[in-house]
Structure 1
Amino acid sequence: MTGFGKATMQLPNKKITVEVKSLNSKNLDLNVRLPQAFREKELELRNVIAKDLERGKVDFSIFSEVTAEETSSKINAPIVLSYIEQMKNIIPDADATELMKMAVRMPDSLKVERQEIDENEWESIQIAITEALQYINEFRRQEGAKLEIEFRNRIENIRNFMNQAIALDPERIAIVKERLRNNLVELQANVDENRFEQEIIYYLEKLDITEEKVRLTNHLDYFIETIEGSEANGRKLGFISQEMGREINTMGSKSNHSEMQKLVVQMKDELEKIKEQVLNVL
């Protein structure tokens, strides 16, 4: 959800700049900064932005730069003259210019006329707002296209590591059987071979990772299927990633084989990179 959009509009007496930027976030965290004259439009703006951007830590700002000669701040002449007269009474010989400098710094020396929003002006500003939102959404689409390529590569890497782990399974089973038999030899105990085989089968069933492989494969396929959907799917991808993590962790706890555990660590590494980027998907 990282993105940036900016649009400017020149009005008869001012220049309006609209900026919007977003960072990763699970939900919409919206911060709106507006000139005082546009405060009454904040709720309307929030609804428009929330509908358009959906998720992310969003900073939205409108800047107004006066370009005409007339300003909203004017010198409050009676107040300034009153300050000057008071200071003359205190310092009769003071220079008039210095008195003026001090007077305009005093409270209420400047009066700011409240600006009422002009609906025609606001309609023009809305065009700039729409343009800025279009720019940030285009930025997001470009980022999304790059993320899709990365997701597909990460998912394929996890699939390859999983298949390599499965290929090691016969070797792992043989090592487990050999270790159990050697332990019995060291004990110098008489063993019923049929019972021994039954116990091995029971023990190996607990270490079997076939079920985890099937579920992880389904999650990998579902992740790709979800990416190809047209609706907003960031939260769904997050849930799928969590399920993938459970299967990988279970596979690691059952592996009992150094090379398989290395492959599990590599799968976890790829999954963590996916989880980091899933936050950047709507």
Structure 2
Amino acid sequence: MTAFARHEEQTELGTLNWEIRSVNHRYLEVAFRLEESFRPMEMAMRKLISDTLSRGKVEVSLRYKAPEQQQDKLEINETLAQNVIDQYQLLANRAENDAPLDLMKVLQWQGVIQSQSLDQDALNALLMQSLEKAVADLVASRKREGASLQTMIEQRCQQINDIAEQVRQRMPEILQTHRQKLQDRIAELQINLESERLEQEMVLLAQKSDVAEELDRLQSHVNEVNSVLQRDEPIGRRLDFLMQELNREANTLGSKSIDTDTTRYSVDLKVLIEQMREQIQNIE
């Protein structure tokens, strides 16, 4: 489900600012953007998210700001800084490049500047608590989006039912119209056709154009869609399958059509089904 959540936690240990984006995906795929100091917590964070979400491509971003008193003093990892300088010098000699080293870039190297030590265990606990709140905000966002999608799908299902009823009611009229056209054509060509033969032709035409089963299945699938929408579980894949079944019946209705209105109804059905299918790709 497409959704977005932002959550900020301000404490004496610093400020944690989470941003979580979610788009539809066949499976659950989670990507993190974290500072290196928080990487050891990634497995725990993945578990927290997988315990809540089952599908979706989820991007999780964390910005951490240390307390003001921690930012007044800088500590430099001299060993790492020297290693960066040495490696630069080695590459510069090999490339015969005598350009001076920009020391500011050395300071910007990940891990060269270190903040004063914090209670990492306490910070990690805060990290998980704030992530749990951010994920809860994401779930709430997904539910709001889901409610909107549910309303749209239910409306399309009602339109499909209405079309199916219109086709069902019009079939006797359509067959009668074709009977009259056939009789008019016979009279025009001055063909002496026995009444029994005419009835046989009409029976064959009725059998060929009979769409009662397709209409029954169409409405049965619509009922199943409405039922699935009420379930408190991931339903995206089930709905996607039902869209395929609905589309199959709409195609069969079109292939059996002997009337321009029925053909138009088939096209209208496929438009409605495609509108639902596109949105269902966003449902978990």
Superposed pair shares fold, TM > 0.5:
yes
Asked whether the equivalents of residues 38 and 117 of structure 1 are also in contact (C-alpha less than 8 Å), the reply is: no
The C-alpha deviation readout for 1:130-175, integer Å capped at 9, x for no partner, is: 0001101111111122222211111111111121122221222123
In the alignment, the residues of structure 2 paired with residue 109 and residue 199 of structure 1 have an alpha-carbon distance, to the nearest angstrom, of: 86
In the alignment, the residues of structure 1 paired with residue 52 and residue 104 of structure 2 have an alpha-carbon distance, to the nearest angstrom, of: 45
Asked whether the equivalents of residues 34 and 62 of structure 2 are also in contact (C-alpha less than 8 Å), the reply is: yes
* Structure 2 CA distance for partners of 1:209 and 1:64, relative to 1, 3 Å: same
Match of 2:193 in 1: 191
Match of 1:253 in 2: 255
Match of 1:276 in 2: 278
| 1:10 aligns to 2:7 (yes or no) | no
The Cα shift of 1:9 comes to 2.1
Asked whether the equivalents of residues 21 and 60 of structure 1 are also in contact (C-alpha less than 8 Å), the reply is: yes
TM-score (norm 2): 0.81
Equivalent residues in 2 for 1:1-282 (5 A)?
1-67=1-67, 68-70=70-72, 74=76, 76=78, 104-105=103-104, 111-113=112-114, 118-185=120-187, 188-282=190-284
Asked whether the equivalents of residues 11 and 121 of structure 1 are also in contact (C-alpha less than 8 Å), the reply is: no
The Cα shift of 1:113 comes to 4.6
The Cα shift of 1:43 comes to 2.5
The Cα shift of 1:252 comes to 1.3
Q: Which amino acid aligns with 1:17?
A: N
In the alignment, the residues of structure 2 paired with residue 222 and residue 165 of structure 1 have an alpha-carbon distance, to the nearest angstrom, of: 21
The C-alpha deviation readout for 1:38-57, integer Å capped at 9, x for no partner, is: 11222222222123122222
* Structure 2 CA distance for partners of 1:103 and 1:234, relative to 1, 3 Å: closer
* Structure 2 CA distance for partners of 1:152 and 1:206, relative to 1, 3 Å: same
* Structure 2 CA distance for partners of 1:107 and 1:48, relative to 1, 3 Å: closer
Asked whether the equivalents of residues 45 and 128 of structure 2 are also in contact (C-alpha less than 8 Å), the reply is: no
Moved more, 228-237 or 184-193: 184-193
The Cα shift of 1:25 comes to 2.7
In the alignment, the residues of structure 1 paired with residue 279 and residue 143 of structure 2 have an alpha-carbon distance, to the nearest angstrom, of: 14
The Cα shift of 1:107 comes to 5.3
SS in 1 for 2:17: strand
Asked whether the equivalents of residues 8 and 16 of structure 2 are also in contact (C-alpha less than 8 Å), the reply is: yes
In the alignment, the residues of structure 2 paired with residue 160 and residue 184 of structure 1 have an alpha-carbon distance, to the nearest angstrom, of: 36
* Structure 2 CA distance for partners of 1:209 and 1:70, relative to 1, 3 Å: same
Q: CA RMSD in A?
A: 3.1
The C-alpha deviation readout for 1:68-126, integer Å capped at 9, x for no partner, is: 235665285997xx9xxxxxxxxxxxxxxxxxx97734858983459898222101111
Structure 1 residue ranges (4+ consecutive) displaced by more than 6 angstroms after TM superposition: 114-117
The Cα shift of 1:227 comes to 0.9
Give unmatched runs, 5+ long, in structure 1.
Answer: 83-100
Asked whether the equivalents of residues 20 and 61 of structure 1 are also in contact (C-alpha less than 8 Å), the reply is: yes
The C-alpha deviation readout for 1:155-213, integer Å capped at 9, x for no partner, is: 11111112112222122212332344444445544434323322331232021010101
Give unmatched runs, 5+ long, in structure 2.
Answer: 86-99
* Structure 2 CA distance for partners of 1:126 and 1:166, relative to 1, 3 Å: same
Match of 2:90 in 1: none
Q: Percent identity?
A: 26
